[in-house]
Structure 1
Amino acid sequence: MAGSQWVAPIAMVHAYFLQGQPIGKDSINFLDHGSQLIYLSSVTTRLNDDLGTSKAEMKRGDVPKAIECHMIQTGGSHEGAREHIQGLVRDCWKKLNEECLKCCLPKSYVETV
């Protein structure tokens, strides 16, 4: 699905405004300060999805996901690639939690993201 990497970030920006936040230049600038939060949340979601659906998608002949890309890039095993992606997810979660603590966006929005 072309452009699907933008679905989660766009949904998160819409969620900000659906929570009753005003739409204006200040709110756009405000959201820019949360871009790392949105990015890390999206990456974590994407990688977790790949971990859960990778085998079925390989059987269907779907486009390569993170696990298959890592296997192709390194010549490694499926299990080794899964472990690598799980490590990336753990690192993303750590960074996401750190970002949540220092983020200046409204708490309700941070919890949504």
Structure 2
Amino acid sequence: MSQQDNFSGGFLLGAIVGGVVGGVLGALLISQRLEETSEETLLKKADAPEVKAKGKKRPLRGSTEQNIELARRSLEDKIAQLNDAIDDVRQQLSSVNGQAIEVDREGSLTEEP
């Protein structure tokens, strides 16, 4: 019984000391890392003041109708590409199931025997 008490007491003491040492060591390493990153950040900001933060969105001011039209056309092209890809996958899946399904541009389905 005496050995079991010594073991549990030593285990508990080791856990407490290990936790304290680990906490202090972790805090020191983190504070050192934060100082390094803050210095790097200050140097980067001093070198390139025009760089925007990642999370910020650029304002829509200054958008001309021409830019809006270009963006709309680009989106229409991407939508057309996605529709073609969806049609291809739909045809591949229908051939796997043993049915040939024709999809016309309006989106209506016609089954072929």
Q: Same fold, TM exceeding 0.5?
A: no
Q: Which has the higher helix share?
A: 1
* Larger RCO: 1 or 2 (CA < 8 Å, sep 6+): 1
Larger Rg: 2
TM-score, normalised by the number of residues in structure 1? 0.29
TM-score, normalised by the number of residues in structure 2? 0.29
